Structure 1
Amino acid sequence: MLFGSKQDEDETVVAMLASALRRDISFGLLRPDEKLKLNALRQRYGGSNHSMRETLRLLSAEGLVAATAQRGFRVTSATPQDQQDILFMRVQIEKMALERALRLGDVAWEGRILAAHHAMRHRETLVQEDLSDLAALEWDNACRGFFYSLCDASASPRLLDTQQKYYDQSRRFRLAALREGRLDFAQRAAQHHALLEAALARDTGTALGLLEAVITTELKA
């Protein structure tokens, strides 16, 4: 029991640290290619050397941090080429997952899509009036929920894990576009509604084409 409690405590600390670092990477407070030194990170976020190393390993697995042999850790780069490659991977993974979900999804899945779309639309309305960090993250999480819901009947946990990984890697670019006023919310609403309707109709060709269009639109924002 004692060992289990200590392990649970360590995992909680790592989860909290990872959440804080994800947030600051997403908003650019930890800049692309910035070196991540343990002592500086501990002074800023707390935690022990062990918990911070575990946090950085976790974020490395998620693709937000890069580990370099003998050089420690750094924030991954965020060039236009990085954005293009991340969105390319999102298209491939999410189209694969959506195609399976359209074949395997039941009525409960359709309900989850409708609920996630409603939540996203609500957050899109709010974020246009409130660009605080909290509102921006809640908006992006609602968008994440919608795209996850489209894929979650794919019956492949590994495919879903990969989908979430690349969605999260694209967050920095999306939040930058939001803050700089480069998002066309009317266009987004129309695209998302059309995608929802195609998914509910089990129109595979249309749904996959719309999904790709929605994701690649982020490159133009």
Structure 2
Amino acid sequence: MNEEVDIYQDLKKRLISNGFEHGAKVRAEELRKKYGCSASTVREVLFRLAAVGLVDFQEQKGFRVPKRSPEKLIELTHLRVLLEGEGTAMSIRNGGVDWEARLTAAHHKLSHIEKRIHAADDPGGLVEIWFASEKEFHQTLISACGSETLKQMHGRIYSQFRQQLMVADRKFEFISANIRHHADILDAALSGDEQLTKTKIHDHLKRHLTGKTMGD
């Protein structure tokens, strides 16, 4: 149903990009009124979001946004390093010139946005486009891996990872390092060196392995 898909995508975006506070109750009745749909549609969408880890559900208590958790962030970071590293290595083997061209284009867009953020006094207006461009680059890294299961797992982990950082990300305290890290990942991938690429992906994400990058 198109209506349900639209509600699902909109809620997913809001859950990842600070549209709800961590730990907040997600009230189905408020969502029903907002989207002008049936209560059953809202509940079905919320159960789908629970299935991918973006809301928690408990009997008698309903739905809530997951709380911020250093332990969860560390776990998600480990999984991202594993999935992204292996997926990119598989893309290097399988992707060819078409993949290299798509990856270069995705990096060009991301680099442009990150340099604008770095130069801006108030980069708040660039948050949403940065979210989209960063996601596109990391998805493109694994896009030629040949495994739909790996891509689906990565997509789920990436969304939960972004949700844990949705407050801290908006401060852009990491942007100088990000510009360098993304360029290093691109160069390693285009060189065809699988192990170097895995190392650069790990270097990019390792600051989150402390669990201390979640913001106030």
TM-score for both structures, normalised by structure 2: 0.86
1:50 to 40, 44, 47: 40
Tell me the alpha carbon deviations over residues 46-67 of structure 1, each in whole angstroms, 9 at most, x when there is no partner: 3211211121122112211122
Report the secondary structure of 1:67's partner residue. strand
Distance of 1:110 and 1:29 partners within structure 2: 34
Q: For the residues of structure 1 that align with 2:194 and 2:46, how far apart are their CA atoms?
A: 39
Give unpaired runs (5+ residues) of structure 2. none
Query: How far does residue 173 in structure 1 lie from its aligned partner after superposition?
Result: 4.0
CA contact (8 A) 2:4 2:41 kept: yes
- CA–CA distance in 1 between the matches of 2:204 and 2:107? 14
Q: Are 1:159 and 2:160 counterparts? A: no
2:72 to 82, 96, 99: 82
Counterpart in the other structure of 1:192: 182
State the 4+ residue runs in structure 1 displaced beyond 6 angstroms: none
Contact conserved, 1:33 with 1:76, CA < 8 A, in 2? yes
1:143 counterpart residue number: 134
**Aligned partner letter, 1:145:** E
Once the two structures are TM-superposed, the CA of residue 212 in structure 1 deviates from its matched residue by 1.1
Alignment of 1:114 onto 2:104: yes
Shift of 1:19: 3.0
Determine the structure 1 residue equivalent to 2:161. Answer: 170
Gap change, CA 1:77 and 1:175, over 3 Å in 2: closer
**How far does the alpha carbon of each residue in 1:20-40 deviate from its partner, in whole angstroms, 9 at most, with x for none?**
323332343422222223212
Letter in 2 for 1:192: H
Q: Which amino acid counterpart does residue 197 of structure 1 have in structure 2?
A: D
Calculate the aligned-residue CA RMSD, in Å: 2.0
- Tell me how far 1:16 sits from its aligned partner: 2.4
Any idea what SS the aligned residue of 1:170 has? helix
- For 1:120 and 1:29, the matched residues in 2 are separated by 23
Matched letter for residue 146 of structure 1: F
Tell me the alpha carbon deviations over residues 161-218 of structure 1, each in whole angstroms, 9 at most, x when there is no partner. 11111111122344422323422x2221111111111101111111101111112234
Structure 1 pair 204–136 and aligned structure 2 pair: CA distance change class (3 A): same
Q: Which one-letter code corresponds to 1:172 in the other structure?
A: Q
- The answer to whether structure 1 residue 71 and structure 2 residue 49 are counterparts is no
SS in 2 for 1:73: strand
| Offset at residue 156 of structure 1 (A) | 0.6
